[in-house]
Amino acid sequence: MTERRDRAGVPARRVGEEVVGGRQTGDHAAALSVKASDAGSLRFTVLPPKELKELSARLGWSLNEPELEAIRAEFKKVGREPTRGEIETIAQTWSEHCKHKTFNGPVRYSDGKKSRLFKSLFNETIVKATKELGKPWCLSVFKDNAGIVQFGRSGRWALAVKVETHNHPCAVEPYGGAETGIGGVIRDVLGAGLGAKPVLNTDTFCLARPDYAGALPGGALHPLRTLRGVIAGVRDYGNRMGIPTAGGGLWFDDDYRLNPLVFCGTAGLMPSWAVRKDVKPGDLIVAVGGPTGRDGLHGATFSSATLEGEADRQAVQIGHPLNEKRVLDALMAARDRRLYRGVTDCGAGGFSSAVGELAQDCGAKVALEKAPLKCSDLAPWEIWLSEAQERMVLAVPPKNYPELEKLFLAEGTGCSVLGEFTNTGRLVVSHKGAPVADLDMEFLHDGMPRVERRAVWGLVPKPKSRPCGARKGPADRGRLGAILIRMLGHLNVCSREWLIRQYDHEVQSGTVIKPLQGMRHDGPGDACVIWPVAATGEWADQAGFALGHGLNPSYGRLDPYWMALCCADEALRNLLCVGADITKASFLDNFCWASPEVPEQLGGLVRAALGCHDAAKGYGVPFISGKDSLYNQSRDEKGRDLAIPGTLLITAVAPVNDITHSLTMDFKGPGNSLFLVGVTKDETGGSLLSQMEGCSGEVPKPDPKAAARAFKAVSGTISKKLILSAHDLSEGGLGVAVAEMAFSGEFGASLELDQVLTSPAMLADETILFSESPSRVLLEVSPKDDLAFMRAMKGVPVRRIGSTTANPLIKVSGQDGSVVLETLLVELKTAWQHTLPEAMR
Amino acid sequence: MSVIAAGTTYLVEVRLRPEFTDAAGAAALAQIQAAGFSAARQVRVSTVYEICGPLNQAHVQQAAKELLSDGVTHEFKVLNAPPVLDGMNHWRVEVWLKSTVTDSVGESVRRAIAELGLPEPEAVRCGSVYRILGRTTKNVLERTVRRTLANPIVHTFTVTEAYD
């Protein structure tokens, strides 16, 4: 006990200085700071508010004033000083990362005309929609580490899905950040219910263009380097864990240059009996996985802070996929023998948040000296809060422990008892008999003061540029072709093969619909379809699931409300196009926003959350899980705040009842009819056309109810096997969709624009071809099935707009009958394929 | 006082035989050229393992041959000290993870050496060596490396002029 020293006499500010110094100057100073910071008393309750705030900032707690006051009041009531361990535990638990203060807190919102007070933004938008929909196949929503829905028709299986962000760490060390991001989300799925076996990983990145040539402030990495690093991180971790990475996306916008976004997702299968945790007092608290070191302290509070020059470098780690694989294998074996009653992963906050979560309804007693350590000089509070990767905490009935220990040791991974769950309602932590923390669970989880935030949404001023499609004069024959070629070569549309090929998307051999499709296995798939036989072992059961994404921050610049609806619409259409049963689809939301302390930013976030609510209700699709990452803004090279564009990633997952009915997007033969479902409107706001031509227009506005009806009809025709290929219309509209289907299948297409159903009736050819009106899909149908198809689509806006051809070119006739576009497939495909490899050179 | 085990430290460098195309080297070359060292002409990458523990020279030779290298495409050397020779525009850049950062490859190698039946090392660290050919100054190269091959937040690196 030589490292414990009573420093009560030293002014607290002095303690803080030493710690900060330790962070910056390396190991030796850090060791010194440990001794200092492990002081028995911080004189917390008597410090003046200003000094208290300084202390919080110096020790990296990211606690705000009302929170500091609440802690002070609590300890005045208890009648003693808090220990460092207690304040650290509270700071972790109350961090933006763990408690989502903004989303769960009260928000006063006004949009100029109306104002509204949300008691909890999250509960009154996203959760409310899910509750009202009341889908019986949602087994666990918003409570656990991942959303859990029923899988297959046998009722024996459940599917757990989670998507996480790991933005701040990826900004400073892309490789390690992406690795620990994917590692963390895999553990979320392992820690959902009693553990699900991961069968699919996804990754979505939002970054500045790789050829960004502008200035960057000191410490910011070039986007090309960030992109290389995050791809390598996801690749190495996913491939080494033996989990296919088969879904995701990539979006480039220069406003992400200081705050890149990295979304990692995992889906896993578990037996339906394993959906519920049931921790009982008397169960042992068992830590499994790697040893604990001084890694990544303050990761959770780090996410409550904006990222500037000197970030807290200890929050950065490198992952160890083989250790996690060992934990996975041992855990699945232990689950199937029903050796434990609860499990959760050590994410941000380490043991403190994992034990705190499991013991939420009972209480826990922890003796930290039993935790295996990487280095011996860790202070007790550091052991308690370390975010060393690849660790999980289990609740194990004492009689099962010997068998459990044998299983984990056989896999070569650590297993030790830290303490036991109690029924006292208190979290009691000690180290070699000395108290580290003794907290009331209720105060810890519900004692956080709620700060009302102000949100304002003002309409974006009308842009001054000319409206899209308003060019006068005779159509120049080559112009639309040239635009189409440039669109296909645009970074947000071009082929992602360079990146996808680095990921193993085939391992576990259940990837039925792969990310790359078509004649030469290089066309862009809409969504992946997974047959999780590696997890279920049921070879006769052909049930699978599909997972797709929707993301478009460009629409969000005009109105986040419509962005949310468009993203939901696109995610659903992606599932529809691979043959999924979208009546049983579920959504996951991932919000990445700038500082919620700026009312205009928060206003956008509120708009997006309202959009999510209306999307869920309109499409009849519940949200089952989600995550938000706020404070994505930093000072740029001139010292101005650069906020990211408000970004919402909607992930949709739906069952595929029979994987043999699933569908790809490439044309299957010549002479087939092409049907366009949905109405094309003058909606070019935020579109690719508007970005390339510098014109403006209305943001696309989906009508969820009508769209849901159309999707259901299309879904019916797919299960009747009437459809040969299907593709959704997104960035670049009809033009890009038909080009992608054509060059992937290596058949041409001939389209007649006067057949396209438009509203209003008269639109420019350019608008019809490139408008991004939502809820539209392009379908290829064999001529013999035309009638049956039209009959099945009764009451849905659909038109036959052309046919596929053996001639390898796209030919489009304008509304006046003249040919407005005629381009060889090889030109289109070359443009589409060249961009990324050239940018990544 | 605890007794410090008197383990020996070995450096094993595993590299592709010169007749094989070095894809990682080509990628690193493109990166350092784009980052300002335009005179770079060639980069070859090899992996270096620092093995510390109660092993003798023969043990390390066996681990290098059976575990760390591939007999067809690789050659390896057990070094006692990094070579420092007259450079003649040849540079040797070593990139290591900081001691505070988990080295998952090194950790796996440590276990694997034990599983070969050899004495278990106390620690293994894994780093990369870039052998770069091109006319430049040490300062320019260090700046380039900081922008491409190493991230000072997790890595330490050394640049030496060294033929071989």
CA distances from A191 to A328, A335, A581, B89 (A): 10, 11, 27, 54
The pLDDT, as a whole number, for residue A297 is 66
**Measured distance between the N- and C-terminal CA atoms of chain A, rounded to whole angstroms:** 56
Which chain A residues touch B if contact means CB-CB below 8 Å? 27, 172-173, 175-176, 221-222, 225, 229, 293-295, 313, 316-323, 388-389, 412, 841
Backbone angles phi, psi at B160, to 5 degrees: -130, 150
Residues A337, A406 contacting (CB under 8 angstroms): no
- Going by C-beta distance under 8 Å and a sequence separation of 6 or more, which residues neighbour residue B4? none
Of A201, A89, A100, nearest to A528 by C-alpha is: A201
Average pLDDT of A145-152? 95
Q: A–B: how many Cβ contacts below 8 A?
A: 45
Q: Do A316 and B30 touch (CB under 8 A)?
A: no
Which of A173, A320, A841 lies closest to B102 in CB terms?
A: A320
Place A761 in a pLDDT band, splitting at 50, 70 and 90. Answer: confident
CB under 8 A, 24+ apart: contacts of A834-837: A834/A489, A834/A494, A835/A489, A835/A490, A835/A491, A835/A494, A835/A495, A836/A491, A836/A494, A836/A495, A836/A496, A836/A497, A836/A498, A836/A499, A837/A498
Establish if B101 touches chain A: CB-CB under 8 angstroms.
Answer: yes
Whether residue B2 has pLDDT greater than 70: no
Helix (H, G, I), strand (E, B) or coil at A652: strand
Q: Do B103 and A318 touch (CB under 8 A)?
A: yes
Helix (H, G, I), strand (E, B) or coil at A426: strand
How many other C-beta atoms can be found within 10 angstroms of the C-beta atom of residue B41? 11
DSSP-assigned letter for residue A413:
-
Average pLDDT of A328-356? 92
Residues of A in contact with B104 (CB under 8 A): 318-323
* DSSP secondary structure letters along A537-559: --TT---EEEEEEE--HHHHHH-
| A82 strand-pairing partners | none
Q: Do A316 and B153 touch (CB under 8 A)?
A: yes
Average pLDDT across chain B, whole number: 87
Q: How far is the alpha carbon of B104 from chain A, nearest alpha carbon, in Å?
A: 5
CA distances from A370 to A346, A381, A415 (A): 16, 14, 10
Residues A330, A410 contacting (CB under 8 angstroms): yes
| A110 strand-pairing partners | A115, A456
Per-residue tokens: A80: 């003693």
Whether residue A430 has pLDDT greater than 80: yes
Average pLDDT of B53-67? 93
| A396 strand-pairing partners | A284
- The answer, yes or no, to whether the previous bond of A700 is cis (omega within 30 of 0) is no
List the single best residue of A211, A322, A387, A389 to mutate versus B (max B Cβ within 10 A): A322
DSSP-assigned letter for residue B66:
I
The pLDDT, as a whole number, for residue A473 is 53
List the single best residue of B105, B109, B151, B156 to mutate versus A (max A Cβ within 10 A): B151
| A647 strand-pairing partners | A592
Q: What is the ipTM of this complex?
A: 0.86
Which chain A residue has the Cα nearest residue B104? A320
Whether residue A307 has pLDDT greater than 80: no
Residues B109, B12 contacting (CB under 8 angstroms): no
Q: Which residue has the higher pLDDT, B101 or B11?
A: B11
Establish if B98 touches chain A: CB-CB under 8 angstroms.
Answer: no
Residues of B in contact with A323 (CB under 8 A): 104, 107
Residues of B in contact with A841 (CB under 8 A): 30, 34
Residues of B in contact with A313 (CB under 8 A): 153
Whether residue B164 has pLDDT greater than 90: no
Rounded-to-integer distance, Cα A563 and Cα A612, Å: 9
Q: Do A320 and B153 touch (CB under 8 A)?
A: no
Establish if B81 touches chain A: CB-CB under 8 angstroms.
Answer: no
Helix (H, G, I), strand (E, B) or coil at B17: coil
Whether residue A326 has pLDDT greater than 90: yes
Average pLDDT of A621-649? 92
Lowest mean pLDDT among A49-63, A107-121, A715-729: A49-63
Place A103 in a pLDDT band, splitting at 50, 70 and 90. Answer: confident
Per-residue tokens: A740: 């992608």
Backbone angles phi, psi at A423, to 5 degrees: -115, 25
Residues A260, A167 contacting (CB under 8 angstroms): yes
Q: Residues A195-251: pLDDT tens digits?
A: 999 999 999 999 999 999 988 887 789 999 999 999 999 999 999 999 999 999 999
Which chain B residue has the Cα nearest residue A24? B153
Q: How far is the alpha carbon of B28 from chain A, nearest alpha carbon, in Å?
A: 10
Q: Do A412 and B111 touch (CB under 8 A)?
A: yes
The pLDDT, as a whole number, for residue A2 is 31
Q: Do B104 and A295 touch (CB under 8 A)?
A: no
The helix (run of H) or strand (run of E) holding residue A266 is: strand A261-271
Tokens 């991001």 found at: A181
Place A311 in a pLDDT band, splitting at 50, 70 and 90. Answer: very low
Q: Is A155 exposed, middle or buried (0-12, 13-18, 19+ CB in 10 A)?
A: exposed
Rounded-to-integer distance, Cα A527 and Cα A759, Å: 29
The pLDDT, as a whole number, for residue A87 is 87
Residues of B in contact with A387 (CB under 8 A): none
Whether residue A668 has pLDDT greater than 60: yes
pTM: 0.90
The pLDDT, as a whole number, for residue A501 is 94
- Going by C-beta distance under 8 Å and a sequence separation of 6 or more, which residues neighbour residue A328? A186, A190, A197, A198, A241
A505 is catalytic: no
Establish if B2 touches chain A: CB-CB under 8 angstroms.
Answer: no
How many other C-beta atoms can be found within 10 angstroms of the C-beta atom of residue A182? 32
Average pLDDT of A9-16? 28
CA distances from A493 to A484, A520, A612, A687, A835 (A): 11, 19, 25, 12, 10
Helix (H, G, I), strand (E, B) or coil at A494: coil
Give the burial string for A552-580 (b: 16+ CB within 10 Å, else e): bbbbbbbbbbbbbbbbbbbbbbbbbbbbb
Q: Residues A13-70: pLDDT tens digits?
A: 222 222 222 223 333 333 333 333 444 456 788 888 888 888 888 777 878 888 888 8
Q: Do A317 and B111 touch (CB under 8 A)?
A: no
Q: Do B104 and A322 touch (CB under 8 A)?
A: yes
Which of B100, B108, B151 lies closest to A27 in CB terms?
A: B100
How many other C-beta atoms can be found within 10 angstroms of the C-beta atom of residue A212? 16
DSSP-derived pairing of the beta strands A680-681 and A758-759 = parallel
Of A184, A86, A539, A639, nearest to A387 by C-alpha is: A184
Per-residue tokens: A616: 């869920």
Which of A173, A294, A389 lies closest to B154 in CB terms?
A: A173
Average pLDDT across chain A, whole number: 88
Rounded-to-integer distance, Cα A713 and Cα A665, Å: 18
Q: How far is the alpha carbon of A6 from chain B, nearest alpha carbon, in Å?
A: 25
Lowest mean pLDDT among A63-67, A186-190, A337-341, B110-114: A63-67
Tokens 């802690």 found at: A71
The pLDDT, as a whole number, for residue A396 is 97
Place A637 in a pLDDT band, splitting at 50, 70 and 90. Answer: confident
**Ranges of H-type helices in A121-222:** 121-124, 126-133, 167-172, 174-190
Strand order in the sheet with A414-421: A342-345, A391-396, A284-289, A414-421, A364-367, A426-431, A434-440
Helix (H, G, I), strand (E, B) or coil at A648: strand
Residues of B in contact with A320 (CB under 8 A): 102, 104, 107
Rounded-to-integer distance, Cα B154 and Cα A674, Å: 54
Q: Do B102 and A175 touch (CB under 8 A)?
A: no
Dihedral sign (CA A615, A619, A623, A629): negative
Whether residue A674 has pLDDT greater than 70: yes
* Most confident option among A47-51, A290-294, A551-555: A551-555
Per-residue tokens: A87: 């304040």
Q: Do B154 and A319 touch (CB under 8 A)?
A: no
- Going by C-beta distance under 8 Å and a sequence separation of 6 or more, which residues neighbour residue A345? A145, A184, A187, A188, A190, A191, A354, A391, A392, A393
Q: Do B104 and A320 touch (CB under 8 A)?
A: yes
The pLDDT, as a whole number, for residue A814 is 92
The pLDDT, as a whole number, for residue A300 is 54
Average pLDDT of A90-106? 83
Residues A70, A416 contacting (CB under 8 angstroms): no
Percent of chain A at pLDDT > 70 equals 91
Q: Annotated catalytic residue: which of A100, A166, A168, A661? A: A166
The pLDDT, as a whole number, for residue B5 is 45
Rounded-to-integer distance, Cα A570 and Cα A584, Å: 16
Which chain B residue has the Cα nearest residue A389? B102
Residues of A in contact with B23 (CB under 8 A): none
Residues of A in contact with B107 (CB under 8 A): 320, 323
The pLDDT, as a whole number, for residue A388 is 84
Rounded-to-integer distance, Cα B1 and Cα A385, Å: 29
Lowest mean pLDDT among A285-299, A311-325, A354-368, A395-409: A311-325
Of A218, A221, A231, A224, nearest to A175 by C-alpha is: A231
A222 is catalytic: no
Residues of B in contact with A412 (CB under 8 A): 111
Establish if B139 touches chain A: CB-CB under 8 angstroms.
Answer: no
Q: Do A27 and B34 touch (CB under 8 A)?
A: no
Residues of A in contact with B147 (CB under 8 A): 222, 225
Average pLDDT of A635-647? 90
Q: Residues A483-509: pLDDT tens digits?
A: 999 999 999 999 999 999 999 999 999
